[in-house]
Amino acid sequence: MTLSRRSVLGTALGAGALSVLPRAGARAAGKTLTIGVCSDFSGVYSDIGGKTSVACVHQAIEDWGAAAKGYDIKVIQGDHQNKPDVGAGLARQWFDNGVDMLIDVPNSAVGLAIASVAAQKNKTYINSNSATSLLTGPKCNASTIHWTYDTYMLSHSTGGAMVAQGGKSWFFITANYAFGQLLRDQTSAVVKAAGGTVVGDVAYPFPQTTDFSSFLLQAQSSGAQVLGLANAGKDTVNSIKQAHQFGITQSGMKIAGLLIYINDVHGMGLDIAQGLVLTESFYWNLNDRTRAFTKRVLPKTPSNYPSMAQAGCYSGTLHFLKAVDAIGVDTASNGAAVVTQMKKMPTDDDAFGKCWIREDGRFMCPSFLFRVKKPGESSTPWDYYDLLHMTPADQTFAPMAGEGCPLVKS
Amino acid sequence: MVMILGKPLPLLFGQLLLGLINGSFYAMLSMGLAIIFGLLRIINFAHGAMFMVGAFVTWALFTYLHIDYWGALICAPVIVGLFGVALERTVIRRIYKLDILYGLLLTFGLAQILQGLATNYFGVSGVSYEAPHGLGGVVNLGFMYLPIYRGFVVFAALVICGATWALIECTRLGALLRAATENPALVQAFGVNVPRLLALTFGGGVALAALAGVLAAPLYSVNPGMGSDLIDTVFAVVVIGGMGSIGGAILTGFALGIIEGFTDVFYPPGSAVVVFVVMAIVLLARPAGLFGKTA
Amino acid sequence: MFGFSRAQVIAFAVLVLAVIAAPFLLYPIVAMQVMCYGLFAMGTNLLMGSVGLLSLGQAAYFGLGGYVAGYLVQSLGMTPEIGIVAGGLAGAALGAVFGWLAIRRQDIYFAMITLALAQIVYFGAVQLTGFTGGENGIQGIPRSALFGLISLKNDRVIYWLVAVVFLAGVLFVHRVVHSPFGQVVKAVRDNEPRMTSLGYQPASYKRVIFILAALLAGVAGGLKATVMGIETLSDVGAATSGLVVLMVLLGGIGTIFGPIVGALVVVAMQYYLAPFGAWVIVIQGAIFVVCVLVFRRGIVGELAYRLKSPL
């Protein structure tokens, strides 16, 4: 009886394992693809990734006309909970069991961990939501593309703008993991290059910190002109809200939110967010094409407008599908082949317009410096930004040489 | 600018004040824990979860019933207290006769259930709750801008701790509780309904936790993890103060909050761990804690 | 036979068969995780079952083992067997120090000291970013060749390494429990004052068990890091400490095979219920509650009770 209980349990579990995921090996008859959205569905980054990212992936499939072209495309999702081991485990499991492309991934530590797995398994990985520029630097690989934005873009655009406005002495509050540390380091470099100084820096445990009062106090007593927030998502929202509570803005300190999404502005409300300067590579109300895309996708995500990262999921998925169609669906499981094709073809979609992908896997698009409107200036829902400046694509991102990417022949 | 040990005085005062605020919560929560342990001999790992539930109830009272903050200060502890009484009657009652560590495991499981449910319905980041209008705004103390609400929290905590201590030490009900702690059989022989006393004590203890939760709601952004973030520190406070000593719990709570605040100035990474270092030292030197009776 | 009861021999045979069959029925990575956590839980069970001590900080040794193995293999280029052995030794060393500190106290105070010490280790892991990578963890731990000869890149190959270490662990644990040493430990748990009056030093015996538990945890951690290629703060955190206690409780405190069953159920549950997010936590909590209230013997413990034979 011991024997029968154990083996029954084992067989039941095994059968369960087989049924949950698509099988590796021979592709089913017809043109099938599986796309996995690995994101944060319930944590600090759930508004800038999460369900809206999934909606954008579906929109791309729809806009491309998958059904009419005879494709059957499955979209699965998984929550990495902001833990690199969970994300890497999910990616490994997906790639071993028939997922052809993995997309999204807010949280740079998870993003980097998945890049290793994608390289190992040679599967297509479009990171449209992490910030770390290491993905096109030392950690670049043949099957990974870094979409949407990176820390270089943020530090030079927002950081540069704040310094130009007169903010010479900085104090950083940094999320203590890959993303925050890199963003702080790159922005410090920009500040110093412009003749400014970094007066102090405090790194807080991520993602469990919700009370920033102690760090804000230290920032205030440092006497710096600019409070540099090297964090994102709800951390940024909490930091700025509490900065107001502690009178930081009253005392004359300026706040540099190095990574702010439109969803964060929505979370703060224009009362608090007005005047903030930020950089995104997509804004729903920027031009007719972006407005058209947003109109199409909103029914799928009614309470959360897409920000640049989620638009990146749309753009990346669309381009992936075009590439797979060009080389044939049977090669879709060969990440390097798909990515090579994606680099050959220029991109064109309603979200980002005409762009292209560089040799090191960097998606090249222009970036936009925005200022958040005052409450009285906003007329329609989510009408939050005034455009200050556009930076062309080749100046938005770091030059390839010197970034340390092994794919680039120097 | 005046400097002490290389740090500007305003920063020191500011951190001291922040430490006092944190200490308020440590004191309130450890007080409830000490009461529950003192009488029921239960190590209530679910105390942090009750704190969290109190905060969520506060938010729910406002969102669905439009009961404001001041109403919540009364309603939330009552609701959670009743929930605690129900728990005691159904679940906690069954393990009194078991090894003390089973109580720890049981309440640990309860805490996980509560936290998991909250995470499912509200997400890891939870919901936000605004401070009541009468207490909004900021006062410039010179060395820092203090949000008025945070000052109120310290004041309220002192009042609550003082009142509870007085209740236990100076009233007849308190005397009954203390007697039941020392010799339940004798107290029962005197005609006191001890089972009811136990249920009320557990309910009262978690009601205190919920009250702390109401106070915390405008401060820490009501999220499912807020209890588990605190519970380890609160346990350390109770252990350092002495497991059954309520006065010890209150004093140690405030003291540890202040120690944490100072550590934040001189060695910020250490503020998360200084409580545990202190606990390890105290336990090795004085196993019953600073104010506890010998084990 | 060798101190195994008949039920135990059958159970072991079934276990070996299950280990051989698993990679063909389950995703090998999951099966390997079960074995790593099973090893970890068996060690913790030595403490909980044989000595009767509840430690709330076993993850400290598990995580340390993983970090040491990961660091040696990734940053210093060593081969995996060195990493795993070093992980075990590191765990044991930490266990020696912490055990010496904690054993002096009983019951709840012992539990709280282990909790405090584990929190200090967690803090150390966050701060020593050169060694642990801080919040990012050690990523991309390569699967170098075993003994410099056998490539471990294929999941099926490394599976056998894990299986051998795991089964050896089972035999080791059984040996410890059924040795004269193990008998003394059991007697100490049952009636410590009596054993002291008979001339034994209970503290020394408890300390040895503590070190063995930490050793097994360290080996398990090192093994897991080698398989998964990543080591993060989760492995050294309070949630993992709580999880391994759940595995022991659910499987059956004091049984040999209980922790393995507990590990299987918990890992399987986390894997299959992952799409349901926080429901896993709710269910874990419910299992704790149910086990304490009505199912204190655990799965294998209940089975052993029915069979009237140790398992």
Report ipTM (2 d.p.): 0.86
pLDDT exceeds cutoff 70 at B92: yes
Q: Is A227 helix (H, G, I), strand (E, B) or coil?
A: strand
CB contact under 8 A, C228 and A85: yes
CB contact under 8 A, C285 and B95: no
Looking at residue A297, its pLDDT comes to 95
Of the residues C24, C25, C29, C158, the best mutation for testing chain A's interface (the one with the most A CB atoms within 10 Å of its CB) is C25
Phi, psi of A175 (to 5 degrees): -70, 125
Task: Please indicate, yes or no, whether residues A344 and A375 belong to a single structural domain of this protein.
Answer: no
Query: Is-contact B277 B61, C-beta < 8 A?
Result: no
CB contact under 8 A, A221 and B14: yes
Task: Please indicate, yes or no, whether residues A218 and A308 belong to a single structural domain of this protein.
Answer: no
Rounded CA separation B290/A100 (Å): 61
Structure tokens at A150: 């990176």
Has residue B276 been placed in a domain? no
Q: How far is CA A196 from CA A156, A162, A181, A220, in A?
A: 14, 11, 19, 18
Looking at residue A19, its pLDDT comes to 39
Structure tokens at B293: 């009776």
Has residue B70 been placed in a domain? yes
Task: Please indicate, yes or no, whether residues A77 and A205 belong to a single structural domain of this protein.
Answer: no
Chain A residues in contact with C232 (beta carbon < 8 A): 83-85
Angle, alpha carbons A274-A279-A281 (nearest 5°)? 130
Looking at residue A6, its pLDDT comes to 36
Looking at residue B12, its pLDDT comes to 84
Determine how β-strand A31-39 pairs with β-strand A101-104.
parallel
pTM above 0.90, yes or no: no
CB contact under 8 A, B140 and A247: yes
CATH code for the domain in which residue A165 is found: 3.40.50.2300
Task: Please indicate, yes or no, whether residues A358 and A371 belong to a single structural domain of this protein.
Answer: no
Looking at residue A17, its pLDDT comes to 38
Distance from CA of residue A60 to its chain's centroid?
17
Looking at residue A8, its pLDDT comes to 33
Chain A residues in contact with B132 (beta carbon < 8 A): none
User: Any CB–CB contact under 8 A between B14 and chain A?
Assistant: yes
Question: CB neighbours (10 Å) of residue B4?
Answer: 10
Query: Is-contact A364 A395, C-beta < 8 A?
Result: no
Query: Is-contact A180 A230, C-beta < 8 A?
Result: yes
Domain count within chain B: 1
Phi, psi of A315 (to 5 degrees): -60, -45
Across chain C, how many H-helices and E-strands are there?
A: 14, 2
Burial zone of B151 (CB within 10 Å; 0-12 exposed, 13-18 middle, 19+ buried): middle
Q: Of the candidates B125, B150, B271, which has its C-beta nearest A234's C-beta? A: B125
Task: Please indicate, yes or no, whether residues A376 and A232 belong to a single structural domain of this protein.
Answer: yes
Task: Please indicate, yes or no, whether residues A106 and A217 belong to a single structural domain of this protein.
Answer: no
CB contact under 8 A, B225 and A211: no
Q: Alpha helix locations (H) across chain B? A: 9-40, 47-65, 69-90, 100-122, 148-170, 172-182, 184-189, 194-220, 226-241, 246-266, 274-285
Task: Please indicate, yes or no, whether residues A377 and A350 belong to a single structural domain of this protein.
Answer: no
Task: Please indicate, yes or no, whether residues A165 and A260 belong to a single structural domain of this protein.
Answer: yes
Has residue B71 been placed in a domain? yes
Rounded CA separation A99/A33 (Å): 8
Q: Which chains, if any, share at least 3 CB pairs under 8 A with chain B?
A: A, C
Name A379's Cβ contacts closer than 8 Å, sequence gap at least 6: none
User: How close does chain C come to A331, measured CA to CA in Å?
Assistant: 22
Looking at residue B207, its pLDDT comes to 96
- The average pLDDT across A375-382 equals 90
Percent of chain C with pLDDT over 90: 56
User: How close does chain B come to C158, measured CA to CA in Å?
Assistant: 35
Local confidence band at B295 (pLDDT 50, 70, 90 cut-offs) = very low
User: Any CB–CB contact under 8 A between B220 and chain C?
Assistant: no
User: How close does chain B come to C285, measured CA to CA in Å?
Assistant: 4
Q: How many CB pairs under 8 A join A and C?
A: 94
Has residue B284 been placed in a domain? no
Task: Please indicate, yes or no, whether residues A386 and A255 belong to a single structural domain of this protein.
Answer: yes
Has residue B290 been placed in a domain? no
Rounded CA separation C183/C50 (Å): 9
Phi, psi of C192 (to 5 degrees): -65, -45
Structure tokens at B254: 């405030």
Percent of chain B with pLDDT over 70: 98
- The average pLDDT across B126-152 equals 81
Rounded CA separation C57/B276 (Å): 13
Rounded CA separation A261/A276 (Å): 11
Looking at residue A1, its pLDDT comes to 31
Rounded CA separation B221/B56 (Å): 10
Closest chain C residue to A117, measured at CA: C140
pLDDT exceeds cutoff 50 at A10: no
User: Any CB–CB contact under 8 A between B10 and chain A?
Assistant: yes
- Tokens 């990440």 found at: A335
Residue type present at position C35:
M
Local confidence band at A181 (pLDDT 50, 70, 90 cut-offs) = very high
HEC secondary structure over A243-301: HHHCCCCCCCCEEEECCCCHHHHHHHCHHHHCCCEEEECCCCCCCHHHHHHHHHHHHHC
Chain A residues in contact with B261 (beta carbon < 8 A): 214
User: Any CB–CB contact under 8 A between B267 and chain A?
Assistant: no
Q: What's the half-sphere exposure (Cβ side, CA atoms, 13 Å) at C297?
A: 11
Collect the ranges in chain C with pLDDT lower than 70: 1-3
Local confidence band at B293 (pLDDT 50, 70, 90 cut-offs) = low
Task: Please indicate, yes or no, whether residues A317 and A328 belong to a single structural domain of this protein.
Answer: yes
As beta bridge partners, residue A104 has: A38, A127
Phi, psi of A231 (to 5 degrees): -150, -175
E strand spans, A183-234: 197-204, 226-230
User: Which residues 230-289 of B are in CB contact (within 8 Å) with C?
Assistant: 232, 235-236, 239, 243, 269-270, 272-273, 276-277, 279-280, 283-284, 287
CB contact under 8 A, A221 and B220: no
CB contact under 8 A, C137 and A85: yes
Rounded CA separation C106/C112 (Å): 10
pLDDT exceeds cutoff 50 at A2: no
Q: Following CA atoms C157, C163, C166, C167 in sequence, which dihedral angle do they give, to the nearest 10 degrees?
A: -140
Identify which of A60, A54, A64, A55 has the alpha carbon closest to the alpha carbon of residue A105.
A54
Q: How far is CA A186 from CA A152, A155, B201, in A?
A: 7, 6, 56
User: Which residues 47-76 of B are in CB contact (within 8 Å) with A?
Assistant: none
Looking at residue A3, its pLDDT comes to 32
Least confident range from A2-11, B22-31, B180-189, B234-243: namely: A2-11
E strand spans, chain C: 138-139, 230-231
User: Which residues 73-112 of A are in CB contact (within 8 Å) with C?
Assistant: 78-79, 83-86, 88-90, 92-93, 96-97, 109, 112
Q: Which residues form the domain of B142?
A: 26-225
Identify which of C123, C155, C224, A251 has the alpha carbon closest to the alpha carbon of residue A243.
A251
Has residue A24 been placed in a domain? no
Has residue A409 been placed in a domain? no
pLDDT exceeds cutoff 60 at A36: yes
Q: Do you find a cis peptide bond into A207, omega within 30 degrees of 0?
A: yes
Structure tokens at B220: 């820490």
User: Any CB–CB contact under 8 A between A54 and chain C?
Assistant: no
Looking at residue A18, its pLDDT comes to 36
Closest chain A residue to B136, measured at CA: A245
Looking at residue A230, its pLDDT comes to 95
Q: Which residues form the domain of A377?
A: 152-280+367-396
> If you ran DSSP here, which 8-state letter would residue B105 be given?
H
Query: Which class does domain C6-307 fall in?
Result: mainly alpha
Domain count within chain A: 2
Name A108's Cβ contacts closer than 8 Å, sequence gap at least 6: A130, A131, A132, A134, A177, A178, A179, A182
Q: Which helix (H) or strand (E) holds A184?
A: helix A178-193
Task: Please indicate, yes or no, whether residues A158 and A237 belong to a single structural domain of this protein.
Answer: yes
Q: Which helix (H) or strand (E) holds C202?
A: helix C202-228
Structure tokens at A180: 């925050």
Chain C residues in contact with A93 (beta carbon < 8 A): 27, 29
Sheet containing A277-280: give its strands across.
A277-280, A367-372, A385-391
Name A103's Cβ contacts closer than 8 Å, sequence gap at least 6: A35, A36, A37, A38, A53, A57, A125, A126, A127, A128, A313, A316, A317, A320
User: Which residues 177-206 of A are in CB contact (within 8 Å) with C?
Assistant: 177-178, 205-206
User: How close does chain A come to C201, measured CA to CA in Å?
Assistant: 39
CB contact under 8 A, B283 and C111: no
Q: Alpha helix locations (H) across A298-388? A: 308-327, 335-344
> If you ran DSSP here, which 8-state letter would residue A24 be given?
S
Q: Which residues of A touch B (CB under 8 A)?
A: 42-44, 46, 81, 202, 205, 208, 210-211, 213-214, 217-218, 220-221, 234, 238, 245-248, 250-251
CB contact under 8 A, C54 and B272: no
Structure tokens at B122: 């509200």
- Tokens 């209150």 found at: B250
Local confidence band at A14 (pLDDT 50, 70, 90 cut-offs) = very low
Name A164's Cβ contacts closer than 8 Å, sequence gap at least 6: A194
Chain A residues in contact with B231 (beta carbon < 8 A): none
Local confidence band at A23 (pLDDT 50, 70, 90 cut-offs) = very low
CB contact under 8 A, B11 and A214: no
CB contact under 8 A, B125 and A214: no
Rounded CA separation A298/A304 (Å): 8
Has residue A401 been placed in a domain? no
Least confident range from A170-184, A187-201, A226-240, B234-248: namely: B234-248
Query: Is-contact C221 C235, C-beta < 8 A?
Result: yes
Chain B residues in contact with A218 (beta carbon < 8 A): 11, 265, 268
Rounded CA separation A116/C137 (Å): 13
Looking at residue A410, its pLDDT comes to 57
User: How close does chain A come to C125, measured CA to CA in Å?
Assistant: 12
Q: Which helix (H) or strand (E) holds C86?
A: helix C80-102
Task: Please indicate, yes or no, whether residues A334 and A378 belong to a single structural domain of this protein.
Answer: no
